């Protein structure tokens, strides 16, 4: 390369971050000339090298001068004739100790030394014994982007391998470490999430240049993408989730194009506590809305309850799960649980005859709720159009006069007009059925009561047992004034707000219900906007904890809403942050599609193997993941990073907003 050509190329790179490596090597050469070994960042030479790994030879003097070389730390590999090439360097990660050609002789010397109880070594022997070798992974190469002279580029491979003696290895200083960690992170929507931490041991960390390097993330890497949080409990997963949620709020609050929906199963995002002084809601009160099953005095919230009357199909199933959980195993109870009520949409599609029978079945269910003292707004029920067969009231069962005469005899009461009336009517029907030898047919010989009708009525008016009274304990989940919170929440999300569902006092069944309901609503809304070409840059981020319940590893139904999130979420601008303790418990399909990872301590090699099978970037750091247990110490991989970054996440501690 001619001097003129080299000057032109270097002048083109003056605004490129890669120029830092030239400045670094020039500085190191000056230190070498002045024999300032204590400030020198030189680590050693290359003993062996391949496209995927390198063995470097070093000695104790070099390692002490740079403050130590922990496993997992970054080293840089440059050509020995660096001044003759364009600025670039290969990135190494220390993986372990390697044997040298003299390992056996060194061990023999140690053996002889201790056998003879030698008090000290002579200078020549010391010089020989202090040499050793380190095994390193080659992570890739940093260089100036040929298409944009102001941009840094990183490749997961290297362009060439030459003889080992033509390389030198250095420990990067703060400027280079910042380039390595943050140089490829997208410049828009940047947030700092923690500091670079190459090892758990804090002894002597003040002597390492890695102690003061902030680790940045771009919130663009999370918008519409899938993010996994893995690690044992109480080691910082939720803290990192809060940092990401806060980062998204800070980055997008002016534009308001990203809404966030957090399923808060422990109430920690919605409520302040002694442990977490300031919650996400408290820090962003103007931009957060809380929906709670049980209102907490210190936290303003909207009602997150179900109207068990107006949502009969789904709420009847929820009652069934409650009864199953409480091990209610009497025959009349299990028969009631087995009944499946038709949905509003199904009723609207029915012919008049089937529609009347379906409406009666729901009215029987209403009678059960009424007898269990579930509060009700009867005027609201009467106005439900889908519960009307013709122009009559939604509280009229529509039994024929002849059928009613069989039940009541000559003194036939007026048609029911209230829940008390229809409850009395259904009790009269089941009593007549039992007195008539459990047979009840109309004039055409058809059964008046179907099998499902009998299952509900035997629960409404059991021959023995408590019947509807046993449902009273579940009234805490019901409110007659529960509105259309789904529409409200979608509106808030489209305003760019963060909605927190406080499910801290809910059962697993209730959590599952709300998760399914709102997840489907979000997916349908975003899909509709996509089909109508109105999606633009509107994103919705979902936050799930205990994700193994939603994305099990052995899922059979790949068409549920969560599987669709994994496959189609990015297309519809739906991002997810999901947390769980074990990678092996999560759907492989979701893991393969996940772009961002934060991994804390895992205690089983089976878990690290499951992780590396789905994300090869974690190969080489498995041992560190198994050994380190410091809260907040994570191995991070994002869309902007091509290799794993060890980071000590900041503690979420904002001021109240």
Q: What is the pLDDT of residues 387-397, one digit of tens each?
A: 987 656 788 89
74-79 vs 53-59, strand pairing mode: unpaired
Task: Scan for tokens 């700092």, then name that residue.
Answer: 192
C-alpha to C-alpha distance for 51 and 274, rounded to whole angstroms:
52
Cα separation, 148 vs 429, in Å, equals 82
355-358, long-range: CB < 8 A, 24+ apart: 355/389, 356/389, 356/398, 357/450
Positions of the chain with pLDDT lower than 70, given as ranges: 1-12, 106, 110-128, 390-392, 555-559, 657
Backbone torsions φ then ψ of 317, nearest 5 degrees = -65, -35
Cα 164 to Cα 46, 57, 160, 167, 317: the distances in Å are 5, 11, 12, 6, 69
Yes or no: say if 260 and 249 are a contact pair by the CB < 8 Å rule: yes
Residue 103 CA to residue 47 CA, distance in Å, equals 14
* Per-residue pLDDT, 430: 95
DSSP string, 414-431: PPP-SHHHHHHHHHHHHH
User: In this predicted structure, what is the pLDDT of residue 238?
Assistant: 95
* Chain centroid, CA 605 distance in Å: 22
Query: Under DSSP, is residue 44 helix (H, G, I), strand (E, B) or coil?
Result: strand
Order across the sheet with 214-218: list the strands.
214-218, 190-196, 645-649, 633-637, 596-599, 226-230, 574-580, 539-544, 258-264, 498-502, 288-292, 302-303
Check if the beta carbon of residue 501 is closer than 8 Å to that of residue 281.
no
pLDDT for 157 equals: 95
| Sequence-distant (≥ 6) Cβ neighbours of residue 38 within 8 angstroms | 65
Tally of CB atoms within 10 A around 507: 16
Q: Let me know: does 448 contact 440? Beta carbons within 8 Å.
A: yes
Contact (Cβ atoms closer than 8 angstroms) between residue 78 and residue 176: no
HEC profile for 612-641?
A: HHHCHHHCCCHHHHHHCCCCCEEEEECCCC
Q: Are 523 and 559 in contact (CB under 8 A)?
A: no
Distance CA 262, CA 598 (A): 18
pLDDT of residue 388: 84
If we measure between CA atoms, which residue out of 310, 270, 292, 264 comes closest to residue 483? 310
Question: Token pair for residue 483?
Answer: 């509105």
Predicted confidence at residue 115, as pLDDT, reads 52
pLDDT digits (tens, 9 = 90+) for 200-250: 998 877 777 777 899 999 999 999 999 999 999 999 999 999 999 999 999
Residue 82 has which token pair?
């660096």
Q: HSE (CB half, 13 Å, CA atoms) of 72?
A: 23
């Amino acid at each position: 390369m001619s001097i003129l050509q080299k000057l032109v190329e270097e002048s083109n790179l003056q605004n490129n971050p890669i120029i830092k490596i030239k400045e670094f090597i020039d500085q190191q050469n000056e230190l070498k000339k002045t024999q300032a070994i204590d400030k020198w960042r030189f680590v050693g030479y290359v003993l062996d090298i391949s496209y995927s790994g390198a063995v470097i030879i070093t000695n104790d003097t070099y390692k002490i001068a740079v403050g130590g070389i922990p496993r997992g730390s970054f080293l840089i590999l440059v050509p020995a004739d660096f001044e003759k090439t364009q600025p670039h360097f290969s990135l190494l990660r220390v993986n372990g100790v390697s044997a040298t050609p003299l390992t056996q002789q060194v061990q023999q010397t140690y053996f002889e030394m201790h056998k003879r109880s030698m008090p000290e070594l002579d200078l020549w022997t010391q010089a020989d014994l202090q040499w050793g070798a380190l095994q390193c992974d080659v992570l890739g190469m940093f260089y100036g982007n040929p298409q944009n002279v102001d941009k840094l580029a990183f490749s997961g491979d290297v362009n060439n391998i030459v003889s080992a003696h033509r390389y030198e290895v250095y420990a990067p200083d703060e400027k280079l470490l910042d380039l390595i960690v943050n140089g490829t992170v997208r410049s828009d929507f940047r947030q700092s999430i923690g500091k670079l931490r190459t090892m758990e041991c804090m002894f002597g960390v003040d002597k390492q240049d890695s102690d003061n390097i902030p680790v940045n993330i771009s919130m663009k890497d999370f918008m519409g993408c899938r993010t996994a949080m893995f690690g044992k409990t109480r080691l910082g997963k939720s803290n990192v989730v809060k940092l990401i949620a806060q980062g998204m709020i800070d980055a997008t609050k002016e534009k308001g194009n990203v809404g966030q929906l957090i399923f808060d199963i422990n109430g920690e995002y919605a409520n302040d506590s002694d442990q977490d002084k300031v919650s996400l809601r408290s820090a962003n009160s103007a931009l957060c809305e809380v929906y709670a099953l049980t209102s907490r005095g210190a936290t303003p919230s909207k009602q997150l309850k179900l109207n068990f009357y107006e949502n009969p199909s789904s709420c009847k199933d929820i009652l069934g799960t409650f009864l199953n959980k409480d091990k209610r195993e009497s025959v009349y109870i299990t028969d009631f649980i087995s009944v499946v009520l038709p949905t509003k949409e199904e009723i609207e599609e029915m012919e008049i005859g089937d529609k009347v029978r379906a409406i009666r079945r729901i009215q029987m269910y209403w009678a059960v709720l009424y007898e269990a003292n579930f509060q009700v707004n009867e005027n609201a029920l009467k106005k439900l159009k889908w519960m009307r067969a013709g122009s009559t009231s939604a509280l009229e069962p529509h039994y024929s006069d002849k059928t009613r005469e069989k039940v009541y005899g000559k003194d036939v009461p007026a048609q029911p007009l209230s829940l008390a009336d229809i409850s009395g009517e259904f009790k009269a029907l089941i009593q007549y059925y039992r007195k008539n030898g459990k047979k009840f047919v109309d004039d055409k010989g058809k059964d008046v009561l179907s099998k499902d009708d009998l299952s509900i009525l035997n629960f409404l008016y059991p021959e023995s047992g408590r019947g509807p009274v046993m449902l009273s304990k579940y009234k805490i989940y019901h409110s007659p004034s529960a509105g259309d919170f789904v529409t409200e929440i979608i509106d808030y999300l489209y305003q760019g707000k963060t909605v927190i569902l406080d499910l801290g006092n809910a059962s697993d069944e209730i959590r599952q219900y709300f998760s399914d309901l709102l997840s489907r609503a979000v997916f349908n809304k975003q899909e509709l906007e996509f089909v109508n070409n109105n999606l633009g840059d509107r994103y919705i981020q979902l936050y799930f904890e205990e994700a193994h319940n939603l994305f099990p590893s052995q899922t059979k139904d790949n068409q549920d809403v969560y599987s669709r999130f994994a496959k189609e979420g990015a297309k519809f601008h739906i991002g997810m942050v999901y947390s769980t303790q074990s990678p092996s418990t999560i759907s492989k399909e979701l893991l393969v599609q996940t772009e961002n990872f934060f991994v804390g301590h895992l205690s089983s090699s089976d878990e690290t193997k499951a992780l590396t099978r789905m994300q090869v970037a974690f190969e080489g750091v498995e041992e560190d993941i198994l050994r380190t247990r410091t809260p907040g110490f994570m191995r991070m991989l994002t869309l902007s990073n091509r290799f794993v970054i060890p980071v000590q996440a900041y503690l979420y501690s904002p001021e109240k907003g």
